Structures are given as structure tokens and as C-alpha cells.
Amino acid sequence: MPTCLNVTSELRHLAFGLLLGVLSCPAVAQSPVPSSKPSSLLLRPAAVFDGETMHADWAVLVEGDKIKAAGPASQISAPAGARTVELPGQTLLPGLIEGHSHLLLHPYNETTWNDQVLLESQALRVARATAHARATLLAGYTTARDLGTEGADYADVGLKQAIDQGLIPGPRLLVATRALVATGSYGPKLSVDVHVPQGAQEADGVDGIVRAVREQIGRGADIIKVYADYRWGKGEPSRPTFSQDELTLIVQTAKGAGRPVVAHASTPEGMRRATLAGVETIEHGDAGTAEVFKLMKQRGVALCPTVAAGDAISQYQGWKKGSGPEPERVQQKRQSVQAARKSGVTIVVGGDVGVFRHGDNSREAELLVQEFGFSPLEVLRAQTSGNARTFHLPDRGRIQPGLLADLVAVEGDPTQQITALRQVKLVVKGGVVYNE
């Protein structure tokens, strides 16, 4: 099986995949479609959560793709020709920001990761991803970090372009393309006699690493993702992959091109090396210790714990949640998150969606509140203004004049009941109404 395609073939393959996704998927072809082009829009909910604080009896005025005004409803009136939308009993929030997703994956209890990477065509995966993008947007997530295509090469770049050009509905994407792994450390792994496509790009040493980082940036990566540790063999525990010097070189090369680096890391040593190298976020951090979290706090590195992914995988493996004993990996994750919170490390909210169903993004927020000790307000701040700060997105994450009109209205008060995030009644992205 070839491990790469020539340029013409690859572009044709990607173009066909996007076309199939737009034309062949009934869910995408039929809805959601914008109900209006950007214009003046006055939203009158019961309350507004501005990304930091809850305000009763506020209104928000949108003009074009930006927020024009936000404040007490009595002080904001609709200009001539504006459309007024009454949202009784609802809370208006900034568009939610998904911190860790894989739009090119679907739940592992449907198809294993190996089979998705090896047996599903890129055309099929892109077509499915268009439906995933739609589901993410309708769940109220107007921005998403997509942290690796897992064997689908640069398909996330085309997906992002299709969304930005209005061909398909979806969130604003920050894409990591192929991700970086040390040779031999990732998968799929079959017979030693069979060379199969890998779920990420292998790179080693000075020349190989610099070339791979620059290639991904040149092909459209907004973020460079590196696997600082992984399982070298089946059944083995995770161990560090890249050396300290290699990780530092990855960060220096990416930073010189204005790209942040994020690290998959679950071991204390992998987390330590990635932190010293200068990554901006650690993804997972399953076995994080007080010592490594202290270092992360000192270096300004955030943690995206992805608690929903481990919860889902444990259930796929037979855990009967609520009746059976809690798996060790779930217990370990709880201890890690508690240590991170105690250290004061910034928490990024992102569930590793794709391991579980796209559109079920708020599963992460619910678990953080219901099982990890966070308050609803902490989680709401984290996945709006907090994620925006961590991801260097000053134009969103808050409801404030001059920022992007990315907004979501939910039934009830999510600062009291986090499950209210499931009750999405209105989604606005760039001033355009996608459902109501």
C-alpha cells in the first residue's frame, strides 16, 4: 500500500472528497442553512452571559458580522430595518469554543481507529466530516481546534476552506493537519513485514523535524501538534518519544513561523519535556503529577484534560458506568485533574471529540462539573473567554462590542445547570443565523 500520493492525485482526491461531502450528505444539503445574511439583529434573551459574568435583562445588537452593542435591554433599541428576536427564558452566550476535536474521526465503538485509518477512503472520511462540522456548529460550538487528521493527510485544510467559503456549515477551525510522531512510535502497527500508512507524520533529527514542521505550515497548519509520548508497542505503557532537543527544535521552528505547538502527553516525563520545550498546551495529561503541574504553571502551559474521551473509551471496553467499579484510568484522570487545579494551571475545555459523537461536545463540560468538581460558571468561562485567551483569539469568546457576532442561546441558565448547554435554541456565527 503506498504511503503517499503525488500532488495531482492528492489534490484530485481531496477535491472529490469535499464535493462528495457537500453534495451527497442529506443532512448537510438540507440543513442548516443560514436563515439570513449578516444584517442588523437585536437579540432579547432573559439573560446574557458575556464570557465572564451573567447579566439579567440584557440585549445584544448585531450589525453585519460584529457585535454592535450589549447592555441593559432598556438602553438598546433596534435600528430601522433590524430584525428583533425574542428569546424568553433563554441565556445568550458567546459561541462555545471546542478545545480538542478530530472532525475526520468518528466514534471508536462504530469503527476502530485502525480501521478508520487503513480501510476508510479519504473521500468517505471527508464526506463524514462535513456532517461532523454541521453537528458541531448546531451544538453551539462556533470555533474548534481540530488537532490532527489521523491519517487523512491535509483534508482538514480543505474542510476549513469549505466552511470559510460558505460551502458547508461548520465552526471556525484551527487545524493541526497531520501531527508529528517519532518514527516507530505511532500506528497503525501490523506485521513487521508490512508497511502501512501512519496516523501522523513521522519525523526525527534536525533535518527531518525542521522539514516536517515547515511542510505542515506550508500546507495550511494553524497549529503544530506533537506526540511527546506514546505506546511504542501493543500493550505497553506510554513512554517519551522525542528527545528534549527535538521537542525544543519543533517549538522553535513553529514559533518562528508564528504557529503555536501543542503536545499530546500523558506521562510525567513527556509532559515535562514538552513544557520545557515551550508548548502552549498539554493534551490529556493522564498521569500528571504535582511537580510537573507546578512546572507548567511556572511556564504558562495550559492543560486540556479531555476527560470525556477516557470516559467513553472505558465504556467501549466494557465498563458499566454507574454500576461497575471505576476503571483505573478514570481514577487516575481524576487525580491528575485535581492536582492540576491545585497548582493553578489553566484548564482548557475540550473533549477529544471524534472518540465520541460530534455534536455531543458538551459531554466534556458536563463531566467536569458532575464528576471533577468544577462549577458550571468555571466551565462556561473556560470554554468561552478562557479558551479564546489560550488560543490567541481576541476577536471572540466574549459578548462585547466590536467582537465577532458568534453567539448561542440555550434554554435555562447554564451557570446553574450545565446541562442547559444541551438545549440549544439559536446559533449565530458571524452575524448569520443558522437555526432558531
pLDDT for 37 equals 61
Topology annotation, domain 96-361? TIM Barrel (3.20.20)
Q: Which residues of the chain have pLDDT under 50?
A: 1-31
The 10s digit of each residue's pLDDT in 177-221 is 999 999 999 999 988 888 898 999 999 999 999 999 999 999 999
- pLDDT of 33: 54
Please name every residue paired with 21 in a beta bridge, in sequence order, or none if there are none: none
Sign of the C-alpha dihedral computed for residues 103, 118, 201 and 162 taken in this order? negative
Write out the three cell numbers for 320. 458499566
C-alpha cell at 404: 465577532
pLDDT of residue 195: 87
Beta bridge partners of residue 87, listed in sequence order: 45
Instruction: Give the position of cell 494551571.
Output: 345
pLDDT at position 18 is 42
pTM of the model: 0.91
No. of H helices and E strands in the chain? 14, 19
* Cα–Cα distance, 283 to 262 (Å, whole number): 7
Confidence (pLDDT) at 435: 86
